[in-house]
Amino acid sequence: MKLRLVNDLHILDHKVVPCSVKRGGSFLIYFALLAVVAILYLFFIFPTQWLKLETVKQPIGINKTILQISDLHFDRLRVPAIRIKKVIKESNPDYIFLTGDFTYKERYLSYAAHYFKMFADCGVPIYAVLGNHDYELPQLHKLLRLFDHYGIKLLRNESVSVGNFQLVGIDDYGTGHSKINKSFQDVNDSKPIVIITHDPNVVLKLKRPYAYLMAGHLHGKQLNVPFFFTFKPKGPLSAKGIYKGLHSDENGFYYISKGIGQAGVNARFMVRSEITLHQL
**Where are the chain's structural domains?**
50-279
Q: Is residue 2 scored above 50 in pLDDT?
A: no
* Residues 11, 1: Cα–Cα separation, whole Å: 10
Q: Please write the tens of the pLDDT for every residue from 207-237.
A: 999 999 999 999 999 988 887 878 788 899 9
**Cα 141 to chain centroid, rounded:** 23
Q: Is residue 16 scored above 60 in pLDDT?
A: no
3-state secondary structure the chain: CEEEEECCEEEEECCCCCHHHHHHHHHHHHHHHHHHHHHHHHHHHHHHHCCEEEEEECCCCCCCEEEEECCCCCCCCCCCHHHHHHHHHHHCCCEEEEECCCCCCHHHHHHHHHHHHHHHHCCCCEEEECCCCHHHCCCHHHHHHHHHHCCCEECCCEEEEECCEEEEECCCCCCCCCCHHHHCCCCCCCCCEEEECCCHHHHHHCCCCCCEEEECCCHHHCECCCCHHHHCCCCHHHHCCCCCEEEECCCCEEEECCCCCCCCCCCCECCCCEEEEEEC
Strands 212-215 and 245-248: unpaired
Q: Please write the tens of the pLDDT for every residue from 23-34.
A: 666 867 765 676
Q: How far is CA 66 from CA 61, 78, 196, 222, in A?
A: 13, 23, 11, 23
Report the sign of the C-alpha dihedral through residues 143, 148, 154, 158, in that order.
positive
Q: Is residue 272 scored above 60 in pLDDT?
A: yes
**Which has more confidence, 143 or 232?**
143
The one-letter amino acid at 126? I
CA nearest neighbour of 110 among 68, 70, 139, 132? 139
* pTM of the shown model: 0.87
Strand partners, 126: 96
Q: Which CATH architecture best describes the domain 50-279?
A: 4-Layer Sandwich (3.60)
pLDDT more than 70, % of the chain: 86
Contact predicate 67/128, CB 8 Å: no
pLDDT (0 to 100) of residue 18: 54
Q: Please write the tens of the pLDDT for every residue from 160-196.
A: 999 999 999 999 999 999 999 999 999 988 899 999 9
